[in-house]
Structure 1
Amino acid sequence: MAIAPTVEAKSIEQTFVTITCSERLEPQDARYLRGVFAWLYPNRPEFHGHGPRGLVYGHPRIQYKVLNGQGLVVGVQEGAFLLQLAQPPARLRLGTRWLDVISMDRIIRSVPFGLADASFEYKFVTPWVALNEENHSRFESTRFQRKEEARTVLRKVLIGNLLSLSKALGYAVPGPISAEVKVDEPMEVILKPGVVLLGFLGRFRTNFWIPPLWGIGKQSARGFGAVERIA
């Protein structure tokens, strides 16, 4: 059942496409899954982030993830509408593997998005790649001796992620976003062979509706930073 948005929030369309293959998928397969849809729809940058003049910067409308061994493609707004029509092939090439598609399930729903009159607790179900070069240096210089300052760095990054997402979806945030971040120690995550990033798992609380399993932070199109509301 759809949840009605609060006065400050709005309702947006969200589509989930779950793909079950003949073998269990691993988290790093998310980038290969993105490549499959890029090959299928080369003229639609929403699927792959590349336009006629190169990379299309900004928050993605379609994201690719691997959860519980299954591929999951999630879209919002125009990305949601495109996924309602998209059809993956009967076989997928994921890296060096060719896998049969056993089943594909599609769910379409309206979800609230935006500022809320209450705060919610979320957890990261995939690592949150929060830090760029500048705030990575600030975080590393404070994480051991000045932990409260390190948490402030992450809190500001999280709020910035939500503001960037709002801008991408055409939503003018009508008031201040609050956030409390409680994440585990950072972990190394492999984007692709030879590229290792710093990611966080854990929880946060904010007065903002985030679409289910939507990713925030860096590399969200490739499955990182997916969140789930738990309270």
Structure 2
Amino acid sequence: MQNDIHILVIRFKNEISLLEIPFFRGAILHALHGEANVLFHNHVDESSFRYSYPLIQYKRIQGKAAIVCLKEGTEAIGQFFSEGTFTFNIGNRYVKMELGSVLPRKCLVQTWNSMFKYRIRRWLPLNSENYQRYKAMEGISEKISFLESILIANLLSFSKGIGVYVEKEIQCKLTSLHDPFLVKNKGIKLMAFDIEFVTNMSLPDYIGIGKNASIGYGVVTHVRNETIMINK
């Protein structure tokens, strides 16, 4: 069963810091004058949220501001371009955004008989509950197995959020795990990870997985020329 997913990667020429990504998102919402499609912000109203996988995501790609849109998000983003204003405040900076490129493409998202290698940057796998479980673990292998199970859950959440049914069991194995580091979001400190892993699921470049995927966390990129055959 094939699952071609429409993706739109919009890159700007403007540099942006990691800390400015939430401000970049807020500036775009402000430019839409409070009438943004729910996919831009995932707020149904003041008290409820769209809890499904984010189909419009705000990124920093090669140091520049970017937006990644998936499925219905590729159509919703037209609202931003129709406004015709690319000048707004990003934090304390007044910025005239310059469009760099708009790349539409399709990506086949499914499970295979091969393993593909990916890296994730600033992945936030731990909520308050599983953070305590992770901290209580003493063995490295135990921690890695725990993170692998969360990674599989994240990939299942992604596939469900884009309407893809995976025919085979998702397999994941961490191949590189750097020391975790703390990041702060809305005044809350969270433990982030930079990892490399192999999986039998093909994934689009620049999607986000895990917590805060819509604002530049958990960004996935393919490590090229790394494909490993597994048993059928």
TM-score by length of 1: 0.88
- Partners in 1 of 2:179 and 2:131 — Cα distance? 14
Identical aligned pairs, as a percentage?
26
What corresponds to 2:69 in structure 1? 75
The one-letter code matched in structure 2 to 1:127 is R
CA distance in 2, matches of 1:131, 1:159: 13
Matched, 1:92 2:88: yes
Asked whether the equivalents of residues 129 and 224 of structure 1 are also in contact (C-alpha less than 8 Å), the reply is yes
CA gap of 1:128–1:155, structure 2 versus 1, over 3 A, is same
Instruction: Select which of 5, 22, 26 maps to 1:12.
Output: 5
Runs of 4+ in structure 1 deviating by more than 4 angstroms, as ranges, are none
Describe how 1:34-45 pairs up with structure 2 within 5 A: 34-41=25-32, 42-45=35-38
Match of 1:172 among 165, 168, 177: 165
The answer for unaligned runs of 5 or more in structure 1 is 1-7
Structure 1 pair 198–117 and aligned structure 2 pair: CA distance change class (3 A): same
Determine the C-alpha separation between the residues in 1 that align with 2:139 and 2:221: 29
In the alignment, what sits opposite 1:3?
none
State the 1:68 CA deviation: 2.6
**Separation (CA, whole Å) in 1 of partners of 2:40 and 2:173:** 32
Tell me the distance in 1 between the aligned counterparts of 2:72 and 2:206. 17
Displacement of 1:109 in angstroms is 0.6
2:198 to 189, 196, 205: 205
Deviation of the 1:154 alpha carbon = 0.3
What residue is the counterpart of 2:180 in the other structure?
A: 186
**Residue 152 of structure 2 aligns with which residue?**
159
Residue ranges of structure 2 left out of the alignment (5+ in a row): 227-232
Q: In the alignment, is the contact (CA less than 8 A) between 1:28 and 1:190 conserved in 2?
A: no
Would the aligned equivalents of 1:63 and 1:220 in 2 still touch at CA under 8 Å?
A: yes
Cα distance in structure 1, aligned partners of 2:27 and 2:170? 36
| Superposed displacement of residue 168, structure 1 | 1.0
Out of 81-90 and 32-41, give the one that drifted further.
81-90
Tell me: CA distance 1:112–1:85, structure 2 relative to 1, closer, same or farther (3 Å): farther
Deviations 1:30-87 (A, max 9, x none): 1111112322443411011111353211210111011232101001100122235632
Kindly report which structure 2 residues correspond to 1:38-53, keeping only aligned pairs within 5 A, or say none: 38-41=29-32, 42-52=35-45
Where 1:55 maps in the other structure, the secondary structure is coil
User: Is the contact between residue 119 and residue 205 of structure 1 (CA under 8 Å) also seen in structure 2?
Assistant: yes
Letter of the aligned partner of 1:209 in structure 2?
A: S
Alpha-carbon contact 1:47-1:62 (below 8 Å) kept? yes
Give the Å deviation of 1:189.
1.4
**Contact persistence 1:27–1:67 (CA under 8 A):** no
Distance in 2 between residues matched to 1:37 and 1:151, nearest whole Å:
38
Which is further off, 83-92 or 98-107? Answer: 83-92
| Aligned partner letter, 1:227 | V
Q: Deviations over 1:84-139 (max 9, x none)?
A: 56326231211121112233421101111121221100011x31001111211111
Q: 2:136 is matched by which residue type in structure 1?
A: S
Root-mean-square deviation (CA), in Å?
1.7
Aligned to 1:222: 215
How many pairs are equivalent?
Answer: 218
The CA distance in 2 between the partners of 1:54 and 1:39, in whole Å, is 20
